[in-house]
Amino acid sequence: QQPVQSPQAVILREGEDAVINCSSSKALYSVHWYRQKHGEAPVFLMILLKGGEQKGHDKISASFNEKKQQSSLYLTASQLSYSGTYFCGTTFGNEKLTFGTGTRLTIIP
Amino acid sequence: DAGVIQSPRHEVTEMGQEVTLRCKPISGHDYLFWYRQTMMRGLELLIYFNNNVPIDDSGMPEDRFSAKMPNASFSTLKIQPSEPRDSAVYFCASLAGRQGEQFFGPGTRLTVL
């Protein structure tokens, strides 16, 4: 039931855009996105609830497609500070969060 | 608030020894989660509590692992006896309400020799 993320890793130049996908084999209730920098704890980015709502802040946004059981995280005009590993986490109606396989994002100057 | 507090930050022990990891959640949060992170298995949920009561321990790998939450401000994860394959970073996280941001502690890096 672990969601699958793609790509596994991506390297961008500063200012480029990226999309990270998260797919589930089971109907989703909510999708959570976290970012983890090397040697640190995961930090919450946003949550999307069932309903197809798109959320975002600054230049990071996300969408949730219930029918496809997918969520995508969009990073526009990437900055060096965006580097890290991005995890999606899914719930199926309760508070239990199952994290995806992770996507390592490297931003180079 | 100081955030979620975990201790120790690093633990090195020998196979067969007992290990106790500690967590203090954010005051007022009613959910507490224990996760384990390794390169091979990623970030796995081990067990979680609601109002100090264990709700789901299906992620606990085997009987060598146990967790308790005697009160709203303290939880422990114990491994007895420890094995090299238990080496990982263990995170504790707390949550207010059923859906929302989980606040992670800094983690405990456990090395079992």
Cβ-based contacts of B45 with chain A (< 8 Å)? 96-99
- CA B2 to centroid of chain Cα atoms: 18
HSE-up (13 A, CA, CB side) for residue A44: 16
Which whole number is the average pLDDT over A78-105? 92
DSSP annotation of A1: -
Instruction: Return the pLDDT at A65.
Output: 85
Q: Is the pLDDT of residue A16 over 90?
A: yes
Q: Which residues pair with B12 in a beta bridge?
A: B111
Q: Do A44 and B91 touch (CB under 8 A)?
A: no
In the block, which residue shows the tokens 């080496």?
A: B87
Binning pLDDT at 50, 70 and 90, where does residue A54 land?
low
The fraction of chain B above a pLDDT of 90, given in percent, is: 90
> For residue B61, is the peptide bond before it cis, meaning its omega torsion is within 30 degrees of 0?
no
Instruction: State the average pLDDT over residues A50-77.
Output: 83
Count CA atoms within 13 Å of residue A66 on its CB side. 9
The chain A residue lying nearest B31, using CA atoms, is A95
Per-residue pLDDT reduced to its tens digit, B32-74: 999 999 999 899 999 999 999 999 999 998 899 999 999 999 9
Q: What is the DSSP secondary-structure string of B37-75?
A: EETTTEEEEEEEEETTEEEE-TT--STTEEEEEEETTEE
Non-local (6+) Cβ contacts of A24 within 8 A are: A1, A3, A4, A69, A70, A90
> What is the mean pLDDT of the segment spanning B77-101?
94
Residues B11-27: what's their mean pLDDT?
97
Place A27 in a pLDDT band, splitting at 50, 70 and 90.
confident
Q: Average pLDDT, stretch B84-94?
A: 97
Q: Which single residue is written with the structure tokens 């497609």?
A: A65
Q: Copy the structure tokens of residue A35.
A: 């970012």
pLDDT of the residue at B1 = 66
pLDDT of residue A55: 66
Question: Which positions ≥6 away from B62 have C-beta within 8 Å?
Answer: none
Residue A53 pLDDT greater than 80, yes or no: no
Mean pLDDT over the full length of chain A? 90
A41 with B100: Cβ contact below 8 A: no
- Of A44, A105, A108, residue with least CA distance to B33: A44
Q: Can the peptide bond before residue A7 be classed as cis, meaning omega within 30 degrees of 0?
A: yes
- Asked if A97 and B99 come within 8 Å (Cβ–Cβ), the reply is no
pLDDT over 90 at B2, yes or no: no
